[in-house]
């Protein structure tokens, strides 16, 4: 018998109840921090870094996250050295989202670990699942990309603007499209 609580189920990639009180509280905490972050003056770099370090699970010293920035929990996000996101990035981090070093993310990108069951009865009960996303080192993600649950993007890869990444993308390639496919090696 499964005696895991809803948070443990979420972190284990199992179907879980997103309306669980603990998960609601943790999302509200993260959203409050995002609200505070997004309303700081852009010139308040030190204050912004302090809030991001409080919000995210792992940070480095050299990173820059443009406002606005949104996430679900924050503690499941790990960023490497020299990390940059442009405006309006959304990370639904119900599972781990790990970014390597030298990752550059263009505006309006989303990283979505959460999904909902195809079974209508489960879906209508607000049940969901979450699978981790991993982005390697030296990756550039173009504007307006969606990275879906369970995806890994290899080192030195470029994801073209507007792509919907539904499956793993290997290292050292240019990939683009909906669904995102490898165009050529780089």
Contact 7, 20 (CB under 8 A): yes
* Active site annotation includes 64: no
Calculate the CA 19 to chain-centre distance: 20
Catalytically annotated residue among 31, 49, 58, 116 = 116
Question: For residue 57, with 0-12 CB atoms within 10 Å meaning exposed, 13-18 middle and 19 or more buried, which class applies?
Answer: middle
Give the CA-trace dihedral at 46, 142, 159, 104, to 10 degrees: -20
Contact 90, 70 (CB under 8 A): yes
Strand partners, 175: 159, 182
Residues forming the active site:
116
């Amino acid at each position: 018998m499964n005696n895991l609580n809803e948070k443990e189920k979420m972190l284990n990639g199992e179907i879980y109840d997103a309306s669980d009180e603990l998960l609601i509280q943790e999302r509200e905490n993260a959203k409050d921090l995002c609200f505070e972050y997004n309303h700081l003056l852009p010139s308040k770099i030190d204050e912004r870094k302090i809030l991001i370090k409080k919000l995210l699970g792992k940070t480095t010293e050299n990173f820059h996250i443009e406002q606005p920035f949104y996430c679900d929990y924050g503690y499941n996000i790990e960023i490497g050295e020299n990390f940059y996101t442009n405006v309006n990035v959304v990370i639904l981090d119900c599972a781990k989202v790990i970014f390597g070093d030298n990752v550059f993310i263009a505006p309006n990108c989303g990283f979505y670990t959460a999904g909902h069951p195809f079974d209508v009865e489960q879906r209508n009960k607000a049940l969901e699942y979450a699978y981790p996303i991993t982005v390697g080192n030296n990756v550039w993600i173009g504007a307006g990309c969606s990275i879906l649950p369970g995806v890994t993007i290899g080192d030195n890869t470029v994801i073209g603007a507007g792509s919907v990444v539904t499956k793993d993308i290997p290292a050292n390639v240019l990939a683009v499209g909906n669904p995102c496919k490898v165009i050529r090696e780089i």
